[in-house]
Structure 1
Amino acid sequence: MLCAVEAHHAGLLGPRTRVVPRAGLRPLAVTLRELRRLGLPDGLELAEPEPDMPRPGRDPVWVMGDAFSGKVQLAWLTAFPRRVVVVDDGLATIRLLELLTGRPGAPLLRARATGRPLRSALRTALGAAASLRLRAAARSGGLSVFTAMPVPAELAAAVRRTGAELVGHDFAWLRAQPLRGPRPAERTVVLGTSLVRNGLIDREHYLSWLAGLGSAGPIAYFPHRREDPDDLARVRRQPGITVYEGGGPAEMTLRGLAAEQRVISLPSTAVTSLRVLLAARGVPVETVDVPDEWWTARAAPSLRSHLSMFAHHDTGVTG
């Protein structure tokens, strides 16, 4: 949602944009509330949340975030918007670019997609059809990708050779908004992760690591939106750790940190975004590489490589 606002502010979507949040998701409700508090760019409407995803219809421009969603792919294949704009969905955006420029016909599926044999076959077929549509949109000049992720120069050049437009951004709209609310008092801020909930890293290794950080000094812990409530209850019981219930994107919640503070995180999209937002404030954003023994059998080597690819500063160029 935040990147859709940034894309509108950048002039990529036309004079009027309507953003429809999905109903029933607290993080989206919190983000919606905070965006309305800040005041929106001219021509942008944040609609009330809806339970079902609206179809593109006859709208000339359709904006999507999660291009790997089966619902998004089905809607796209049964509608005919003149142009599609893909806004950031984190590291998944980089995977999308890799698939766009890779082997023709490779289905648009998440790096760790699994499922029952019949369901996998159906999803693979849908993903393959979406891949063909994506390439066709690029060839006709009807595909734009709007991202704050650092895209390696070689990959960026390959994307543009497909005919797609690749536009980088640095959260210009958000950076221009006034800061609101107090920042955490702790010097060290730790970002939560979804890797435990997704079964990709070992729970006990992760929680022990957090306990060690808390024993070394006070830390502010900002949970990932998909963290398990039982895990968070254990984190709250650890001495030295204060769990904050931000709810919204880290880019909005933590953009007011001071130079004497620092952010620590396992590999995540928020690391890249916060480095962009906090560089001018002198706040270091540090990535902790996941030790080999933390990974579970569900984490394929390709996924590990993908998650680590953009954890550090020297990852290439954007846009």
Structure 2
Amino acid sequence: MARDRSCAGAAASGPGSVAAAVPGPREGALAFVESPVQLLNVLEWAHNHPAPGTASPLTLVVLPPHDPMTRGQLRRMAELARDEGITVRWEEARDGVAGAAKSVLSLARRLRRATTLVIGDPFSRYVQLLLALTPSRAERRVTVVDDGTATMEFVAQLARGERFVRWHRKGSRGGVRGLLFAPVSRRARRRLTPGPDGSHRVEVFSSMPVEVPENVIVTANEFAWTRARFGPPRLTKGADLVGTSLVETGVVDVERYLEAVAGLARAYGATRYFAHRRESSEKLAQVSAATGLEIVRPDLPLELVARRGPVGRTILSFPSTVVHTLPLALAGTAVTVAVCDIDPAWLTRTASPRAHGFLTDVTGKARGAHRLPPTPQQST
């Protein structure tokens, strides 16, 4: 496993020799994102890999889903990207087969010419299709930026040579559609597998605790752009609680979740509930009625919202991405990030057998977060 904290872009040459022009990682870079968190991490990657000169050669392609909360956050993040001098393309690739085909055709030339491909979600079938259609070139680098805790599972599956399957999905075959898509997925996985001689370079730019396969470059995402761009925040006296979409993904029972949120709010004096962008309005109404918490729908990823402030001196969370990212984004402040484990009794009968082990791993590897004792509901 290689560790890379630099961004050298040209081969050194001795006296009298001719230097070979080796593209830097941001020269001719093409990035694909489908969520606000992915877009944030592309901005962090761009900050970590500064472009030569004053112009940015990075083109950012936004592939928005249909839900309005995600689209709104993506539009706000796209504005920040443009402020950083990055070219942004908004592609409605999910408007059926015709929309996907139109987007692929419009991007074909850029895909052929790109020296670096930056992707936020290697599990995405659309991204896998783009990777499969990209011609293989020895000098091309593929970079995977964080898509939250899913990066941990992606890296583990890549190391084991397994088919890419999201951790919360029950089963691994994906039905008939999965079988039909399998050849594309295998080709994409080859694009994400580094060559043993270093000819095909793969980078993982991550704030997650990942152990990656041999020959993969790991670059630490320390949220330097976020800290430089925003804050430090004003701190409030109370605690804030971070919501999760584990109910929406079918992992946690809604009644158990409401009991756990109410227990945390009482125990730690929480006053606000920062909703996950995928949480349903119906569930949020239940949270408000059961706890009295003020429901906040952030218009940006929580790392930026917390950094701008105001934010509580304690941020409470269930196992999720933020228990890894918030300690980095809020470094140098007096904010404490605390994580509450998911009790096995909270899981639904349809939850993936891997769910509890994965969530426990997320908590156990959170270096900058404090682990909370069991809530009253957990200890009874």
TM-score by length of structure 1 reads 0.84
Pairing 1:299-314 to 2, within 5 Å after superposition: 299-312=351-364
Query: Does structure 2 conserve the Cα–Cα contact (< 8 Å) formed by 1:207 and 1:235?
Result: yes
- Structure 2 contact 231–309 (Cα < 8 Å) conserved: no
User: Which residue matches 1:202?
Assistant: 253
Give yes or no for contact 2:240–2:271 (8 Å, CA) kept in 1. Answer: yes
What value does the CA root-mean-square deviation take over the aligned residues? 2.9
| Structure number with larger C-alpha Rg | 2
| Aligned residue in 2 for 1:245 | 297
Q: In structure 2, what residue type is equivalent to 1:202?
A: D
Matches within 5 A, 1:187-266: 187-215=238-266, 217-257=269-309, 261-266=313-318
- Verify: 1:4 aligned to 2:36, yes or no: no
CA contact (8 A) 2:277 2:297 kept: no
Verify: 1:144 aligned to 2:203, yes or no.
yes
> What is the alpha-carbon distance in structure 1 between the residues aligned to residue 353 and residue 343 of structure 2?
13
The SS at the match of 2:163 is coil
**Which of 163, 166, 184 is the matching residue for 1:126?**
184
Report sequence identity in percent: 30
Partner Cα separation in structure 1 for residue 181 and residue 254 of structure 2:
29
Could you say if the C-alpha distance between residues 31 and 129 of structure 1 is closer, same or farther in structure 2, counting changes exceeding 3 Å? Answer: closer
Q: Distance in 2 between matches of 1:301 and 1:142?
A: 34
Task: Call closer, same or farther: CA 1:116–1:45 in 2, change over 3 Å.
Answer: closer
Please state if 1:27 is matched with 2:55.
no
Separation of aligned partners in 1, 2:265 and 2:165: 38
Q: 1:6/1:60 Cα in 2 relative to 1: closer, same or farther (>3 Å)? A: same
Give the distance between the partners of 1:260 and 1:112, measured in 2 at CA: 30
Q: Distance in 2 between the 1:67 and 1:119 partners?
A: 17
1:123 to 1:183, Cα distance in 2 relative to 1, 3 A? farther
Partner of 1:71: 126
State the alpha-carbon separation in 2 of the partners of residues 169 and 183 from structure 1. 24
- 8 Å CA contact 2:244–2:275 kept in 1: the answer is yes
The amino acid across from 1:90 in the alignment is: G
Gaps of 5+ in 1: none
Q: Give the C-alpha shift of residue 234 in structure 1.
A: 1.4
Equivalent residue for 2:337, pick from 285, 289, 292: 285
SS in structure 2 at match of 1:130 = helix
Kept after mapping to 2: 8 A contact 1:4/1:87: yes
What one-letter code is carried by the residue in structure 2 that aligns with 1:135? Answer: T
Residue 233 and residue 186 in structure 1: after superposition, are their counterparts in 2 closer, same or farther (change >3 A)?
farther
How much does 1:185 deviate? 5.1
Kept after mapping to 1: 8 A contact 2:272/2:295: yes
1:61 to 109, 113, 116: 116
Q: Distance in 2 between matches of 1:164 and 1:239?
A: 46
Deviation at 1:199, TM superposition (A): 0.8
Larger mean CA deviation between 255-264 and 73-82 belongs to 255-264
What's the offset of the Cα at 1:208? 1.8
TM-score, length-normalised on structure 2?
A: 0.71
The range that moved more, 136-145 or 65-74, is: 136-145
1:36 pairs with 2:79: yes
Q: What's the CA shift for 1:28? A: 4.3
Secondary structure class of the residue paired with 1:118 = helix
| Alpha-carbon contact 1:184-1:220 (below 8 Å) kept | no
Matched, 1:111 2:149: no
Residues 259 and 109 (structure 1), Cα distance of their counterparts in 2 relative to 1, 3 Å cut: closer
Q: Secondary structure at the match of 1:66?
A: coil
The DSSP-based 3-state class of the residue aligned with 2:142 is strand
What is the CA–CA distance in structure 1 between the aligned matches of 2:142 and 2:81, rounded to whole Å? 27
Report if the CA contact (8 A) 2:194-2:216 is conserved.
no
What residue identity is the alignment partner of 2:133? T
What letter matches 2:114 in structure 1? D
Q: Secondary structure of 2:351's match?
A: coil
Please give the secondary structure, in 2, of the residue aligned with 1:67: coil
- Structure 1 range deviating more: 273-282 or 118-127: 118-127
- Indicate conservation of the 8 Å contact 1:65/1:86, yes or no: yes
Question: How many equivalent residue pairs?
Answer: 304
Q: Which amino acid aligns with 1:127?
A: S
Give the equivalent residue in structure 1 for 2:320. Answer: 268
Give 1:64 shift: 0.6
Q: CA deviation at 1:50?
A: 2.1
Q: 1:165 aligns with which of 183, 202, 217?
A: 217
Partner of 1:175: 227
Q: Which runs of 5+ in 2 are unaligned?
A: 1-38, 94-102, 369-380
Contact 1:220 1:241 survives alignment (8 Å): yes
CA contact (8 A) 1:63 1:86 kept: yes
- Listed one character per residue, the Cα deviations across residues 129-156 of structure 1 (whole Å, up to 9, x for unaligned) are 32233225675332111111122xxx24
